[in-house]
Structure 1
Amino acid sequence: MSLATPTDTPEQKKAAEEKEQQDKANRLREQQEQDALPYKWTQELGEVEITVPVPQGTRSRDLSVVLQKKKLSLGLKGQEPIMAGELSKEIKVEDSTWTIQDNKAVLFHLEKLDKQTWWQHILTHDPKIDTTKIEPQNSKLSDLDGETRGMVEKMMFDNQQKQLGRPTSDEMKKMEALKKFQDMHPELDFSKAKIS
């Protein structure tokens, strides 16, 4: 998917291609960093799911687990923790849980305290992800009423346009109105017109 459009100048196309290459390199590096972690994780705005592989046959009594507002630790009793540290953001401890799946993985369900923030990482010392690249699930977007959904989609479009150095939807409307007015009044000089 190219970021360039047919109306871009050669310089804009080159810049878009360079940005696209840089984005690909960043995504690859980010994926490699995440793959190297001793766990896998996913998130939605309100919650985080973490899956930590443990030796086959592990039971809850074999584990040492700390689950606090800003701290998480998991390990086998008597051994170094598999993961331990300060959480990226605070969680609601009373709504967060952990369970053992098939005696070979520990699944954490963490309820975020701030349900409007994407986490960049689970533990503060872990590699970060680029949260600006997170795309909310469409099913969640479609759950919104028409007006709210339209507002969210406009904000997402405007944010993407700004990142690409292109005009936002409001700026595009102003430019369109100015163009129509220019077409209706060719006798006027618009060379010094500014859109604000």
Structure 2
Amino acid sequence: MASPEMYDTALLGILQHQGKIENFLDVMFGFLYRRTDFFRTMRSKEDRMGFPPGVQEKMLYSIFKKWQHYATQDEERMMKKLQEKAEKERQAAAAASAVVEEVEVETTQAPENTENKTDKPSSPEQAKTQTVATSNAPKDASKTDAKTVEGTEAKEGAAAKPTSQEEFQQDAESWNGAVRENYKWAQHIHEVEIRVHVPQNIKKAKDCVVDIKNNFVKVGFDKFSVIAVAIKDGGQVKVLMEGKLTNKIICEESMWSLEPGKCVQVNLEKEKEYWWKAVLVGEPEIDIQKIEPIKHMHDMDDEEQSGVQRMMFDQHQKMMGKPQSHEMKVHDMLKKGWDAPGSPFAGQEFDPTKFNISPGAVQM
């Protein structure tokens, strides 16, 4: 099954246009009403479309409980992480306090052979040296600990970065694409989505510069597409992504937007419908044998849509324990000859269970 996040861009556009969850749900159910048999109720066993009474409600409740369960798990994991973080901070604070106390004891302890008096520095310079050494000890230890923690976190972050196509497929932002140094990219059959990471202080679109265009080579007038993404930070322009695209795009139908403090999202409309192995020329290519080559329903022609609808109908019939489309076609043919003169079944009720019909045996 394809990752559910693959439809996020389309669904987010609908949600933003409608403005409210209630309106969004109304659009979804309206689609089911107009384009499917979801709201049709089967009145008899002979009905080929629809669902038995009450099945739709049970289906909706089951799906709702499924995602509610995921949400509850997410909340529990978040609370656990917060508790673990608080515990680590408490332990770190206790450890830092112990280091400071130990240093203070070592610098103030009197020698064993001295009674009722404390060593005094023989000169002001010596006193100053002792004071500086004492005050610096806990600070140096704290800095060392901080550097160690930062180094460990950096290593963990580097280790967590996905590198295989199987890992890329788990993230909607790299679905059928990859994770690169400054950006992630995903793709559908007609579109490429790129998310270029930006600093948290980049909040407005005017702080970004995105250039998407087609260039032409003079010899042969061959066309190629290029992209550049940069930000304006501290009076300087910093290029985050730049290069020649591996395939041609339709610039007029490509666009970009800023998610403040997170990323610049670029949507490139492919000139031809095929799967890209990389975004920029020269970057590592993905193995397109390991992606999910799914085509949206609205991208299919009438013949393809008809085939998909037939498959959906057959799946529904199979779940209900009813004949599939290829079986129904043969049954209609057999019924005509069931009571024909000379038939061994003449006078008997038609029984489809006497026949085992494979899908390949029927020309649809």
For residue 29 of structure 1, report the CA deviation from its aligned partner. 10
Aligned with 1:120: secondary structure?
A: coil
Separation in structure 2 between the aligned mates of residue 80 and residue 123 of structure 1, nearest angstrom: 18
Q: Deviations over 1:16-73 (max 9, x none)?
A: xxxxxxxxx9747989x94342111110110011111101131222122211130001
Determine whether 1:93 maps to 2:251.
yes
Q: 1:120 to 1:103 in 2, by over 3 A?
A: same
* SS of alignment partner, residue 106 of structure 1: strand
Aligned to 1:110: 268
Distance 1:71 1:92, change over 3 A: same
Q: Which amino acid aligns with 1:52?
A: V
* Superposed displacement of residue 148, structure 1: 7.7
Q: Deviations over 1:106-129 (max 9, x none)?
A: 0101100012x1011111121110
> Separation in 2 of the partners of 1:28 and 1:146?
32
1:45 aligns with 2:202: no
Q: How does 1:116-131 map to 2 (within 5 A)?
A: 117-131=274-288
1:75 aligns with 2:239: no
> Is the alpha carbon distance of 1:146 and 1:129 closer, same or farther for their aligned partners in structure 2, counting shifts above 3 Å?
same
Specify which structure has the higher proportion of strand. Answer: 1
Q: Is the contact made by 2:165 and 2:290 (CA closer than 8 Å) also made in structure 1?
A: no
Residue 57 of structure 1 pairs with residue 201 of structure 2: yes
Shift of 1:139: 6.1
Determine the C-alpha separation between the residues in 2 that align with 1:140 and 1:37.
33
Structure possessing the higher relative contact order (Cα contacts under 8 Å, 6 or more residues apart): 1
Give the Å deviation of 1:137: 3.0
Gapped runs of 5+ residues in structure 2? 1-162, 170-176, 215-224, 311-364
Deviates more, 1:57-66 or 1:88-97: 57-66
The amino acid that maps onto 1:97 is M
Structure 2 counterparts to residues 29-44 of structure 1, below 5 A: 34-44=178-188
Structure 1 residues 29 and 134, CA gap change in structure 2 (3 angstroms): closer
Name the structure 1 match of 2:305.
145
1: CA distance between counterparts of 2:188 and 2:307?
Answer: 22
The TM-score, its normalising length taken from structure 2, stands at 0.30
More helix by share: 2
Q: Give the secondary-structure state (helix, strand or coil) at the position aligned to 1:132.
A: helix
Equivalent of 2:291, from 134, 137, 155? 134
Q: 1:166-192: CA deviations, max 9, x gaps?
A: xxxxxxxxxxxxxxxxxxxxxxxxxxx
Structure 1 portions without partners, runs of 5+? 1-24, 151-196
Cα distance in 1 between the residues matched to 2:209 and 2:285: 26
Task: Label 1:135 to 1:28 Cα distance change in 2 as closer, same or farther (>3 A).
Answer: closer
Query: Residues of 2 paired with 1:28 and 1:65: CA distance?
Result: 30
Aligned residues: 124
Cα pair distance change 1:134/1:60, threshold 3 Å: same
Cα gap change, 1:139 to 1:68, in 2 (>3 Å): closer
Distance across 2 between alignment mates of 1:63 and 1:88: 23
